[in-house]
Copies of this chain bind each other. A is one copy, B any other.
């Protein structure tokens, strides 16, 4: 900035400025345009006092004595203008806009006002808890300087670090999966062996009630541990974590979702909830765990433990972190299902919006490494070290022969319809339960009680099932580890007990691969219905709980039932019920979660059979179409219930006539290039917003200052924290060089404005925002349609989009919340087509 501006920071200015002063080459004077919406007294001094900072006027006589009266009148005018903003968007009536264009603006203003009235509640609803992430790069002068200072070798080093981090993500995620696998196996072995011997003894001694009590006790204790870890340890570790990761990748900062503490609680919690006999799987939590690993390793530190390696500092931005979280999620899927390609597709289908080839390769690398690590460790554990092709990778056992014809395909499609219906039922029940839970089960004690209640009821139901459904099958070439005889004759065992005396994952394997005749149709139906209800209840209880395995189990049960039934009707056909179990499993899972591509690939990889891909795809498609008729998938449903401003893939239909003005937030608080510290502090305290446009030029009726750039709250806080107060001194930045590293160091936990320790003298100084602002953020004209804005924000992962008028003056801002809010208030009229989901 030129020297003449030193210290001439002003708080207002007459609105009528001769045109010549802008074009005549005179040095610009910089003002603050400060919106005192909550300060009806209308003077800057009282505003400053109200906001808790010393009033500028009292401590800086020169500024006030020079411009005091002008300031007061300018502020008064500004207030008037702000109020008129609300009435007519952004064009004060005395501004000339061309013919038709103006007509349209005036026509729209009424509607906009209506919008803004509705918006208040929507905003509060949506913004209470969730901040947005910013996946855009702030391309300020520091960034340019850093970019210029890099050699080709620096770039190579960063690239190498990226690959290295992805490698580490794969290794660590694979190791975690191994840890969970082995712990569950060992704990389940203890539990079921003890239970079996108890049951076997009690059948003869008529002490079945003690066996039941023992079972309840086992479940109670394990689930209590899991629930304590979640409720007292980290509540965000509850559930599968997939909705949270989906939100994170979409650009929403779900608090504490990728912290180390969350990881620990999730991993230990899922162990105990699976062993506790709940209708849950470890797959969803594995995906969440992988994501935390990705976020943690890429930052090279763990804030929960005040531990900082100081490496990978370059990756401390939202955009870089997102990439590693995608890699972690993919690695999680790869480890959970032995499906590396499925992992990549999961990360893409559920998360990423901008497809980047290089990133996808790295995600793929994480997935591969994770699969490899798990296979390698499992090989050692199972005593066949060095054999990487062991079936550890294949979660659901390998099918040797799966043939099908057109008739099969037709039946499978019908099963897809059943899966869609049953999935919709599951989701609807779960939705009501979740609403109930949000309202009534809010205390920690209540949550713990619910968890152990579910655990006990699961045990009781299982026991009743085993006791009542007396389907006996001969002991044969089956896979049961603990065949329970119950009331069956010698040499036979209770197939129901076999199904319930193992973890749900093992039960799925049994249903897919047990020989013909192991289960009866009645037994499967008797198992299926209560299990569906229990699983519905379980998803949402305060324990880490995956949804994939219970869904697959329910589906496999009724699918196998269908297969057996068909075989009874046509004894020469349909001899392989396992095939139908697989299709049923796919149908049920597809009906609940509504994924198609990644789920197809996951199932293909998890069963090791490529040939059966086509029927699986058909079933998933049908299940999705049918289910979408009744509502969204379960993850989206939970995201909606949590009022998260998730942006869908496509802009709302028929949004062409909705313009930026109807969507944007207005008025916007703007800053000047050379800005006084006390003003910045005041604004940061008074305003919840994150992005502030930087403007120059004139204020007054109908003029909003020329848009120059955008500065974010975090940048401002860093500036203040580092005391980069130059007071217009051109040599200041030479003497106090800062780099982007200084900003990244505090990422992502920037101090709040109230934590800043600024002296009175500091507050009187000024900052040159020009160096730190983004000089060319994305922006649109106010005539832009909602569809276009949506595509821009969604496609590039923006947090702020500045709306300008035809004079390049800031008239509004569009953020993720504006888009989400707009959608929320328009559900009737502009609701999205559910046909494609």
Contact = CB atoms under 8 A, between A and B. Distances in A.
Interface of A: 1-2, 19, 22-28, 94-96, 98-101, 137, 139, 143-144, 146-148, 150, 152, 155-156, 159-160, 340-341, 344-345, 348-349, 352-358, 360-362, 364-365, 368, 371-372, 375-376, 386-389, 393-394, 402-407, 409, 596-597, 600-601, 604-605, 608-614, 617-618, 621, 649-650, 653-657, 660, 673, 696, 706-709, 770, 775-776, 778-785, 787-788, 791-792, 795-796, 804-808, 833, 835-837
Contacts of A372: 614
Nearest to A342: B341
5 closest pairs, A vs B, by CB?
A: A147-B656, A776-B784, A355-B355, A808-B808, A358-B836
A604 B610 contact: yes
B405 A386 contact: yes
Nearest to A770: B100
Contacts of A613: 340-341, 605
A808 to B, nearest CB: 4
B148 A654 contact: yes
A358 B807 contact: no
Contacts of A96: 22-26
A709 B788 CA distance: 14
State the copy count for this chain.
2
Contact of A597 (B360, B405, B673): B360
Contacts of A649: 356-358
Given A96-B25, A608-B611, A649-B358, A804 B808 contact: yes
Contacts of A352: 355
- The secondary-structure label for the interface of chain A is mixed
A405 B387 contact: yes
B657 A147 contact: yes
A791 B777 CA distance: 12
A364 B776 contact: no
Contact of A354 (B22, B610, B795): B795
A99 B617 contact: no
B152 A833 contact: yes
Given A98-B28, A341-B600, A776-B788, A610 B609 contact: yes
A568 to B, nearest CB: 23
Contacts of A19: 19
A614 B368 contact: yes
Contacts of A356: 649-650
22 contacts: A1-B99, A22-B96, A27-B99, A137-B787, A139-B656, A155-B833, A159-B835, A160-B835, A341-B600, A353-B355, A358-B836, A364-B617, A387-B405, A388-B406, A605-B613, A609-B610, A706-B806, A706-B807, A707-B806, A776-B784, A795-B795, A795-B796
B368 A617 contact: yes
Given A368-B621, A778-B792, 9 more contacts: A23-B94, A28-B99, A137-B788, A340-B613, A361-B597, A364-B617, A389-B611, A707-B806, A708-B806
Nearest to A606: B610
Contacts of A98: 28, 673, 696
B354 A355 contact: yes
B783 A775 contact: yes
A556 B156 CA distance: 33
Contacts of A159: 833, 835-836
Contacts of A409: 388
B1 A100 contact: yes
B405 A388 contact: yes
Contacts of A650: 356, 358
Contacts of A792: 778, 796
A371 to B, nearest CB: 6
A614 B601 CA distance: 15
A776 B660 contact: yes
B610 A344 contact: no
B833 A139 contact: no
A156 B625 CA distance: 13
A348 B597 CA distance: 13
Nearest to A775: B783
A726 to B, nearest CB: 12
A379 B203 CA distance: 55
A617 B796 contact: no
A766 to B, nearest CB: 15
A161 B94 CA distance: 49
Nearest to A368: B617
A389 B368 contact: no
Nearest to A364: B597
Nearest to A703: B23
Nearest to A390: B403
A417 to B, nearest CB: 17
Contacts of A139: 656, 784-785, 787-788
A649 B355 CA distance: 9
A837 B359 CA distance: 11
A148 B785 contact: no
B355 A657 contact: no
A779 to B, nearest CB: 8
A792 B776 CA distance: 12
A697 to B, nearest CB: 9
B358 A349 contact: no
Contact of A393 (B402, B611, B653, B784): B611
A364 B792 CA distance: 25
Contact of A155 (B386, B654, B781, B785): B654
A203 B512 CA distance: 57
Contacts of A147: 654-657
A650 B362 CA distance: 15
Contacts of A804: 808
Contacts of A394: 610-611
A792 B614 CA distance: 37
Contacts of A368: 614, 617-618, 621
Nearest to A162: B836
A368 B412 CA distance: 15
Contact of A403 (B353, B387, B778): B387
Given A341-B613, A791-B796, A156 B835 contact: yes
Contact of A361 (B407, B808, B836): B836
B144 A785 contact: yes
A133 B407 CA distance: 44
A355 B348 contact: yes
B156 A833 contact: yes
Given A99-B2, A139-B656, A614 B696 contact: no
A364 to B, nearest CB: 5
Contacts of A144: 656-657, 785
Contacts of A99: 1-2, 27-28
A19 B144 CA distance: 37
Contacts of A601: 341
A340 B1 contact: no
A387 B404 CA distance: 6
Contacts of A387: 403, 405
A403 B389 contact: yes
Nearest to A28: B98
Contacts of A776: 660, 780-785, 788
Contacts of A597: 341, 344, 360-361, 364
Contacts of A402: 389
A708 to B, nearest CB: 7
A361 B804 CA distance: 37
